[in-house]
Protein backbone atom coordinates (compact mmCIF):
# COMPACT_ATOMS: atom_id res chain seq x y z
CA UNK A 1 0.00 0.00 0.00
CA UNK A 2 2.86 2.40 0.73
CA UNK A 3 4.09 2.00 -2.87
CA UNK A 4 0.68 3.09 -4.13
CA UNK A 5 0.70 6.11 -1.80
CA UNK A 6 4.21 7.05 -2.98
CA UNK A 7 3.21 6.68 -6.62
CA UNK A 8 0.12 8.83 -6.13
CA UNK A 9 2.09 11.43 -4.16
CA UNK A 10 4.31 11.90 -7.22
CA UNK A 11 1.19 12.72 -9.26
CA UNK A 12 -0.24 15.23 -6.79
CA UNK A 13 -0.10 18.69 -8.32
CA UNK A 14 -1.82 22.03 -8.62
CA UNK A 15 -4.21 22.77 -11.46
CA UNK A 16 -6.05 25.85 -12.63
CA UNK A 17 -9.78 25.63 -13.21
CA UNK A 18 -9.28 26.17 -16.95
CA UNK A 19 -7.24 22.96 -17.13
CA UNK A 20 -9.96 20.97 -15.37
CA UNK A 21 -12.89 21.98 -17.59
CA UNK A 22 -12.41 19.14 -20.15
CA UNK A 23 -12.48 16.62 -17.29
CA UNK A 24 -15.68 18.16 -15.89
CA UNK A 25 -17.23 17.89 -19.34
CA UNK A 26 -16.56 14.13 -19.35
CA UNK A 27 -17.97 13.87 -15.78
CA UNK A 28 -14.65 12.71 -14.31
CA UNK A 29 -14.03 15.37 -11.65
CA UNK A 30 -14.64 14.48 -8.00
CA UNK A 31 -14.51 17.25 -5.41
CA UNK A 32 -12.78 16.26 -2.16
CA UNK A 33 -13.67 18.25 0.98
CA UNK A 34 -10.77 20.19 2.48
CA UNK A 35 -10.98 18.26 5.75
CA UNK A 36 -9.92 15.07 3.95
CA UNK A 37 -6.37 14.28 2.88
CA UNK A 38 -6.32 14.15 -0.91
CA UNK A 39 -3.77 11.33 -0.91
CA UNK A 40 -5.83 9.25 1.54
CA UNK A 41 -8.82 9.56 -0.78
CA UNK A 42 -6.72 8.70 -3.84
CA UNK A 43 -5.32 5.60 -2.14
CA UNK A 44 -8.83 4.52 -1.06
CA UNK A 45 -10.20 4.89 -4.60
CA UNK A 46 -7.20 3.25 -6.28
CA UNK A 47 -7.28 0.30 -3.87
CA UNK A 48 -11.05 -0.09 -4.19
CA UNK A 49 -11.73 0.67 -0.51
CA UNK A 50 -15.49 0.82 -1.02
CA UNK A 51 -16.42 1.28 2.64
CA UNK A 52 -14.29 4.42 3.06
CA UNK A 53 -15.41 5.91 -0.24
CA UNK A 54 -19.09 5.23 0.49
CA UNK A 55 -18.69 6.76 3.97
CA UNK A 56 -17.17 9.95 2.52
CA UNK A 57 -19.91 10.17 -0.12
CA UNK A 58 -22.56 9.69 2.59
CA UNK A 59 -20.97 12.46 4.66
CA UNK A 60 -20.89 14.68 1.53
CA UNK A 61 -17.09 14.85 1.70
CA UNK A 62 -16.80 13.48 -1.86
CA UNK A 63 -19.07 14.77 -4.60
CA UNK A 64 -19.40 15.87 -8.16
CA UNK A 65 -19.09 19.65 -8.60
CA UNK A 66 -22.40 21.37 -7.81
CA UNK A 67 -23.97 23.87 -10.22
CA UNK A 68 -23.09 26.72 -7.82
CA UNK A 69 -19.45 25.56 -7.60
CA UNK A 70 -19.25 25.36 -11.39
CA UNK A 71 -20.69 28.86 -11.74
CA UNK A 72 -18.23 30.22 -9.17
CA UNK A 73 -15.25 28.49 -10.78
CA UNK A 74 -16.28 29.52 -14.29
CA UNK A 75 -16.21 33.11 -13.04
CA UNK A 76 -12.64 32.64 -11.83
CA UNK A 77 -10.81 30.70 -14.52
CA UNK A 78 -7.45 30.99 -12.74
CA UNK A 79 -8.74 29.48 -9.49
CA UNK A 80 -6.27 26.88 -8.27
CA UNK A 81 -6.91 23.38 -6.97
CA UNK A 82 -4.85 20.56 -5.60
CA UNK A 83 -5.40 17.77 -8.09
CA UNK A 84 -4.72 14.07 -8.23
CA UNK A 85 -5.46 11.78 -11.17
CA UNK A 86 -6.74 8.35 -10.16
CA UNK A 87 -7.98 6.89 -13.43
CA UNK A 88 -10.65 7.45 -14.58
CA UNK A 89 -11.17 10.29 -12.08
CA UNK A 90 -9.54 13.61 -11.41
CA UNK A 91 -9.77 14.36 -7.68
CA UNK A 92 -9.73 18.06 -6.88
CA UNK A 93 -9.60 19.97 -3.65
CA UNK A 94 -9.92 23.71 -3.43
CA UNK A 95 -6.63 25.30 -2.43
CA UNK A 96 -6.97 26.89 0.97
CA UNK A 97 -5.98 30.55 0.77
CA UNK A 98 -2.92 31.22 2.89
Q: What is the pLDDT of residues 41-89, one digit of tens each?
A: 999 999 999 999 999 999 999 999 999 999 999 998 889 999 999 999 9
What span, in angstroms and rounded, lies between the C-alpha atoms of 68 and 57?
19
Q: What is the mean pLDDT of residues 6-28?
A: 94
For residues 29 and 23, the answer to whether their CB atoms sit within 8 Å is: yes
Q: Closest Cα partner for 45 from 9, 3, 12, 87? A: 87
The model carries a pTM of: 0.92
What span, in angstroms and rounded, lies between the C-alpha atoms of 6 and 93?
19
Q: Closest Cα partner for 94 from 14, 19, 25, 5? A: 14
> What CA–CA distances, in Å, run from 5 to 2, 22, 39, 64, 85?
5, 26, 7, 23, 13
Amino acid sequence: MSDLRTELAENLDEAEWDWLIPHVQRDAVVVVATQLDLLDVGVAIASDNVSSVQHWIGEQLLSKPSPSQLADWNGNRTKRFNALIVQPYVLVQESVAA
